[in-house]
Each structure stands twice: as structure tokens, then as C-alpha cells.
Structure 1
Amino acid sequence: MSAGADTDATDATDAGVGRLARLAPGVGLLVALAAAATLVAGVVPGVNALLLGVFFGAAVANTVGVPDWARPGVDTQKLLLETGIVLLGARIAVDELVASGPVLVALVVVTVAAGVLLVEAVAGRVFGLADKTGSLLAAGASVCGVSATTAIAGTIDADGESLAHVVAAVLLFDALTLAVFPIAGDLLPLSGRQFGIWAGLSMFSTGPVTAAGFAHSDVAGRWATVTKLARNSMLGFVAVAYAVRYAGRAEEAATGLRAVFDGVPRFLVGFVAVAAVANLGLLSDATLATVGTTSDALFALAFVGLGLDVRLDAMRRTGTAPLAVLGVQLLTVSALALAAVLVLF
């Protein structure tokens, strides 16, 4: 090996070590808070460790704040969540999914379309919001939360102030639904599958949906994640529709679709691949157990990170109109979705 190659390898190693050193403190904070949540949940009956982790994270974020030295590691929470979802594929029974597939897909399509149309109708006519602000709210509430809002903002050339207000409103509802849906799941006569599909159809963002599902039960967590991923996959279609609406040309629709490609969850491919491998019987029981344990650990860390991203001061600066629109959408869609789930599943 040449001296140049040796130098390149050394530089790469040093860069990797440096990156790990930057991430370690924040990841350590996630581990500490997740461990504390697990410990408390183990001694206090009826307390869910995942939701407690979110609460601990939010408490830290809104009291002492997240220190600069921890931020790089805390920001890995999205990767941790996505990796946990990929590994969750090993716990999905494909035969059950296939049996419910056509009905579930149809329900997802109808829910997304109805949610978008409802928000578009009430945002401007009832609450007097600008067209583009209403479109951002429609995408965020109906498809995949902040990810859809940000992606659609680029497609329709929305201004930064409108985007910031909508993102804050969506985050507030993420926090509220994460607290309310598990309680509703305990009060309503729903099976794990029914609750998971209901949460996956109704709540806004992937992280809170997954957390609420697993707070109810393992079965609910799996169905909530699958349903939410199906909703997320609708982002490209919604982006094309908005590109055509605002640009008025099919060529712009293709450009808009490319612009939001990064917003479509790539981990969906990994999730499907892991589910296929597991259901073909290619993984041993020991391997499946290890994958399940790893997925649970990643979720515990990711949900703490979700809490650390909750900023009450930013939410207080959001106007009431976006909150009212999201409230109308959530109440209407969740009520109709609950009725459909009770009838169809």
C-alpha cells in the first residue's frame, strides 16, 4: 500500500473517531434519560416507559435546555427512529398484512385525500389563511407531519414565516396527540390492531404515531407503524397535485416530485426487506429476538430525543388560526377513521 493510501486511511479513521467523540455525549444523554424512564416505569404500575422517556426529554428541553455539547448526539434521534422501524419489519406478520392490505390501502388513500380537501376548504374560507399556508397545513396534517410540510413548502415556494408557524403548530399537535391517544386507546373498546390503524390514520408525524402505538401494545405499535408508512408513501402524489395547482403545468409537477423525493421515507424499503426476510423463515429465533430487543432499545432512545425536540416557547408563538385548522382536521378525521376501523377491522 502506498504512503498516500496509508495517509487517506488514517485521515478517515481520525474523522470517524472525531465524529463518534462529538456524538457520544448526546447519545449518552439519550441513554441516561431512557434508562431513568425504564427504571421508573418498572417500579410505578401503569406507567409506560416510552411515553415517560418523551416526558423526561421534554422536561429537560424546557427547563435547563439541551446543551451545545449534547446537540449532535441528540440529533441522531431521527436515524435511531428510522433504524428501529426498519428492524420492526422482522416482527410483522406478512400474512396478516396481506389479508388487510387492500382495505387498509384504500382507507389510507381516502383518509389522506379527505384530510387534504378538508383543510384546504376550511383554512381559507373559515379561518382566512393564505392559500399556501393552508396547503402546508393540509400536507402536514394529512400525510407525514413536519416532513411533508417542509417538502411541500419547497414545491409551492412558500415563505419561511408561514412554514415556521405551520411547523410549530404541527409539533404542538404531535405533543398533544402523543399524550391523548394512548389514554383514548385504554378507554375505548379497541383491539391492538384497531388502535394501531386508528392512530396511524389520525396522528400527524411518524415518531408520535409509533410511540403512541407501542404505548398501547406491541401489536398496536406494529400496525400503527405500518399504517403511518402507508400514509407517508402518499407524499409524492400530494406533491404532484400541489405542483400542478400552483404552477399549472405538468412539467412543473415532475420538478416538484423530484424536489420532494428526499421527503419520502427511504427506510420504508428497509422495513419491507426485513419483513420479507423474516417471513421467509431465513432468520433464527435467536436472531429475531436480538432484532426485536435492538428495535425496542432504539425506540426508547428515539422517543427521548423526540421529547428533547419539544419547545413550548416556540409553540406559544404560533397563531391561533393554524391551531384551529389542525384541530378541525384532527377531530374530523380521527372520528371518521375510528368509525371506519370499528366497522372494517
Structure 2
Amino acid sequence: MESIFSTDRIGKKTVFILAAAICLLPFVNGLEALLAGFLLVQFTGNPFEKYTHKAIKLFLQISVVGLGFGMNIHEALEAGRQGFLFTVASIFITLIVGLLLGRYFSIQRKTSLLIAAGTAICGGSAIAAVSPVIKANENEMSVSLGTIFILNAIALFIFPVIGHYFNLSQQQFGLWSAIAIHDTSSVVGAAHTYGQEALQIATAVKLERALWIIPVSICAGLLFKNKKAKINIPWFILLFVLAMIISSMFPLLQKPALYISEFAKRCLVLTLFLIGTSLTKDALKHVGAKPLLMGVLLWLFISATSLFVIVQFV
């Protein structure tokens, strides 16, 4: 068995750490970091695989809270207000269409609900919140997370390209990415690539959307007759709101708040690098054809529908 102290393993760890450190430099953007992580893991593997998932979650939360220091609470509330009805309609439509697709492809009901919830609300966070409520097993969770994760990675590449192709405004792209991209990390990453205004709108709308984890989890518990299940609430959203309030209400803190916001953006780029390193061949194989097909069709449906509505009415 290979020793953890072998030259080969130490070399891989060194390369991994150096690549991660380079992603913190100001000239590296999110898409480059994601691609670098993906390519690196195909050739050298991920020597920190068992820690990567926890690191992604931690760095994402730090990034989101830090980005709050660079946003104005009044502008965020206005963005949330404009996207509220759109958010509610898209969540319920996505959940219904997702369950129908799952039934059509004869996918296990819990798996299809998890994929639908991840697509409708906030990707992996929604799946993590709903899974214990419906008593999903490890296989159902991993298939759902794998499906959502693959589509998230694709969205980071193609959404900015599509946005520029249709000449979407900053407001339009921010709203579209918040509605149609699954995970908060990918939403923020794509919007960050598109522009500062898009980033602010996308973050505000997506985090407002994430709060729907609570009612959806309650409904899922009733559907699967598990009324006593504990619901995981994304508390870091409250810290994000607090950061916006501090930066908006205290002018003397605006300069240090700006530095914190810039650090958060670099932390986000590092998060995208780690996401890329998680996209291994084994992860792709484990998902399976039917759940992936369901996830793709559901994602295409909500992406195309929301884009049409935004272009026509926003």
C-alpha cells in the first residue's frame, strides 16, 4: 500500500497546494480556476479528496459573507423585491416538472425530489437540507449531488457566454443566473465573471431563494410522513445580511469593508478551483444515465424558460 509520506504523494500534494495558492492571485478568474482544478485532478488526482467537500462549503460561506461587505442593503432589497414573484413561480414549477420527469424516467421518488429541489432552490445546500427530512440514503444523496454538481460546473462556463450572446444587461444576467444555476457558488462565480452589478443582483436573489429551503423541507417531510425531522437552515445567510447592513450604515467602515469584499472574491475563486478538483471520472460514472438526463432536461427547461421571460419582461 502506498505510504502517505511517499515522494509521489508528497509531490502531488505540493502541486495541489501551489495550484490552489496561484488561484488566490488577482489575475486568475473563476473560470480559469475551475478549469485548472478539473484538469489537475485528471492527471494527478486529488490528494485531499476527503477534505475537499468540507473546504468547499467553508470557503463558500466565507465568500458569501465577505461579499456582503461590498453590497448596499437598499440595492439588495430592491433586487430581491424585483425577483420575488419570479423566484416563487420558478421554484414551484421546477419542483413539479422535476417530479414528473422523475416519474417518466422511473427514477426513485426520493432521488427525483432531491434533484428537483437542488435545481429549484440552491443545489447541494437544498439536497443536504431535504435529505434527512425524507430519510434519503447515501446512494440517493450522492447521485443527486453528483448530477447537480456536473451541471453546476457546465453552467460556470456557458452562462457568461450565453449572456453576452443575447446581450443581457447586468440586471438581466444577475437575475437569470440566480434563477437558473443551482449552487450559490456557481451563481456567484458566473455573475462575478459577468460584472459587479450582476454579482450583487445574483447574490441577493440567490440567497433570498435559498430561504425557501425551509418551507420546501417542511412540505417534503409531510409528503414522506416524517414530521419530526430536523431542518438545516443556512445560517450564514443571516451573516451575509448583517455584513450588508454594517457596510451600508457605517460610512467609516466602508474602506475596510471593501478590502474584506475583495478578499471574499479571491476566496470564491479558490472555491471554484476546489469544485473543479471534485469533478473526477469516478464522480461522473457514479451518477448514472437516467438521473443525469433528468437533471439536464429539468435544467434546460428552467434555463430556457427563465431566459425567455427575462428577455421579454425585464
- What TM-score do you get using the length of structure 2 for normalisation? 0.88
- Alignment pair present for 1:315 and 2:284: yes
- Alignment pair present for 1:176 and 2:154: yes
Which structure 2 segments of 5+ residues have no match? 1-12
Matches within 5 A, 1:241-280: 241-247=219-225, 252-253=226-227, 255-256=228-229, 259-261=230-232, 264-280=233-249
The more displaced of 183-192 and 288-297 is: 288-297
- Alignment pair present for 1:160 and 2:138: yes
1:27 Cα deviation from its structure 2 partner: 9.1
Give distance in 1, aligned partners of 2:185 and 2:202.
10
1:329 Cα deviation from its structure 2 partner: 1.3
1:29 Cα deviation from its structure 2 partner: 3.9
Taking only the aligned residue pairs, the percentage that are identical comes to: 22
Deviation readout 1:315-340 (Å, 9 max, x if unpaired): 12322211121122111111221233
Give distance in 2, aligned partners of 1:77 and 1:133.
23
- Equivalence for 2:59: 80
- Equivalence for 2:38: 58
Q: How many residues align?
A: 302
- Assess if the C-alpha contact under 8 Å between 1:116 and 1:142 holds in 2: yes
Give distance in 2, aligned partners of 1:306 and 1:217.
21
Distance verdict in 2 for CA 1:73–1:184, change over 3 Å:
closer
- Equivalence for 2:114: 136
Give distance in 1, aligned partners of 2:40 and 2:65.
28
- The match for 1:91 among 70, 73, 93 is 70
Distance verdict in 2 for CA 1:163–1:72, change over 3 Å:
closer
1:52 Cα deviation from its structure 2 partner: 0.2
Question: What is the SS of the residue equivalent to 2:43?
Answer: coil
1:201 Cα deviation from its structure 2 partner: 0.4
Give the greater-gyration-radius structure (CA): 1
Q: Which amino acid aligns with 1:174?
A: N
Distance verdict in 2 for CA 1:309–1:281, change over 3 Å:
same
Q: Which amino acid aligns with 1:329?
A: L
Distance verdict in 2 for CA 1:139–1:33, change over 3 Å:
same
Question: What is the SS of the residue equivalent to 1:62?
Answer: helix
Distance verdict in 2 for CA 1:99–1:207, change over 3 Å:
closer
- The match for 1:334 among 285, 303, 307 is 303
Give distance in 2, aligned partners of 1:204 and 1:148.
9
- Assess if the C-alpha contact under 8 Å between 1:27 and 1:73 holds in 2: no
Q: Which amino acid aligns with 1:235?
A: I
- Equivalence for 1:228: 206
- The match for 2:97 among 109, 115, 118 is 118
Give distance in 2, aligned partners of 1:97 and 1:119.
30
Give distance in 2, aligned partners of 1:115 and 1:157.
22
Give distance in 2, aligned partners of 1:234 and 1:26.
40
1:186 Cα deviation from its structure 2 partner: 1.6
- Alignment pair present for 1:281 and 2:250: yes
1:54 Cα deviation from its structure 2 partner: 0.9
Q: Which amino acid aligns with 2:23?
A: A
- What TM-score do you get using the length of structure 1 for normalisation? 0.80
- Equivalence for 2:190: 212
1:25 Cα deviation from its structure 2 partner: 7.2
Q: Which amino acid aligns with 2:21?
A: A
- Assess if the C-alpha contact under 8 Å between 2:24 and 2:266 holds in 1: no
Which structure 1 segments of 5+ residues have no match? 1-23, 42-48
